[in-house]
Copies of this chain bind each other. A is one copy, B any other.
Amino acid sequence: MAVKPKVLLLGATGETGASILNGLQESGNFDVEVLVRPASAVKPSVQKLREQGLTIWPVDLDDFKGLVSAMTGTDILISAIGPNDLLQQKKLLQAAKLTGVKRVIPCAFTTVAAPTGAMLLRDEKEEVYNAIKFLGIPYTVIDVGYWYQISFPTLPSGKVDYAQMVPVKTIHGDGTAPNILTDLRDIGRFVARIIMDDRTINRYVYTSGDVLSENEIYRIAEEVSGEKLEPSRVSNEDIEASVDQAKAALAESPHDNMKRIGVFVAQYEHSKYVRVDNSPRYAAYLGYLNARQLYPDFQPTSFRDFFAEVLAGKGRKVYS
């Protein structure tokens, strides 16, 4: 029997990392090990992974020798690091180069957007992608669009409130911008396919469960729930003003991570709905492969089915 590729996963206890870990385990095709920061090694979430029998590498990202030990024999390095630590991934790359990692999956897992200038969050990812290309390490960038889990509307009945991180009651612009969406739970299933596929080496790939405009999302929510939704409207000018306000707030407190997240959120809206970046058309322009075309047999969860599940009380609030 062939030896399974060894995957080293960073960020396994985050929302995206947990989906990836689950997808890789579900596929049965990988020998997965997990890289955590020493301070996190004692957390209950990491203890749970240890109890599952996973090999845990508690290594500080400044500990080059420790990283080399963890990466020795690794075929595929996957990073699902948090949005405020993106540039720390650069510390992983020298070790990946030295140990001959066959493919690095840097932390992308976000919407399709311009390489620089559209979103601070994307700009920092670009810096990491360029560091990978500087070293010439084989890589795949995997973007997933926006999650279903933070895209479904609030209902007048309050029936889906339990599963919402924040209320969703707004339509941006005219509501027609197509938006690449993936169920958070399908991310890992897509990743398990993409990282074994030679066609995706040194390429950008996007996944999707559905591509929907906000108008379509609200219509589906009405159809599934039988409730009448009356979203408020936000103009493009208001979205632009929100970006400016969020940037000004961050400029005042440049080390305040909540202010950074404020910019991320405002720029997501702007990128998705004003620029229409997170769309199949712009993804094709940027040279992305479409995972749905690569794996026509794989049936991800549809937004309609996802929303029906949430309505039936089987949802989960993310980041809770």
Contact = CB atoms under 8 A, between A and B. Distances in A.
Nearest to A123: B130
Given A203-B287, A285-B202, A115 B136 contact: no
Contacts of A296: none
A202 B286 CA distance: 7
A264 B114 CA distance: 28
A118 interface: yes
Total copies of this chain within the assembly: 2
A282 interface: yes
A28 interface: no
A285 B203 contact: no
A287 B202 contact: yes
A116 B116 CA distance: 13
Kindly state the interface size class of chain A when it binds its partner.
Answer: 10 to 19
Contacts of A117: 130-131, 134
A130 B282 CA distance: 14
Interface in A91-149: 114-118, 126, 130-131, 133-134, 136, 138
Given A130-B116, A134-B118, A287 B287 contact: yes
Chain B CB count within 10 A is highest, among A118, A133, A202, for A133
Contacts of A138: 285
A115 B134 CA distance: 7
22 contacts: A114-B130, A114-B133, A114-B134, A114-B136, A115-B130, A115-B133, A116-B130, A116-B134, A117-B130, A117-B131, A117-B134, A118-B134, A126-B130, A133-B285, A136-B282, A136-B285, A138-B285, A202-B285, A202-B286, A202-B287, A203-B287, A287-B287
Given A114-B134, A115-B130, 12 more contacts: A114-B130, A114-B133, A115-B133, A116-B130, A116-B134, A117-B130, A117-B131, A133-B285, A136-B285, A202-B286, A203-B287, A287-B287
Interface of A: 114-118, 126, 130-131, 133-134, 136, 138, 202-203, 282, 285-287
8 tightest CB-CB pairs across the interface, nearest first? Answer: A114-B134, A116-B130, A117-B134, A115-B130, A114-B133, A115-B133, A202-B285, A136-B285
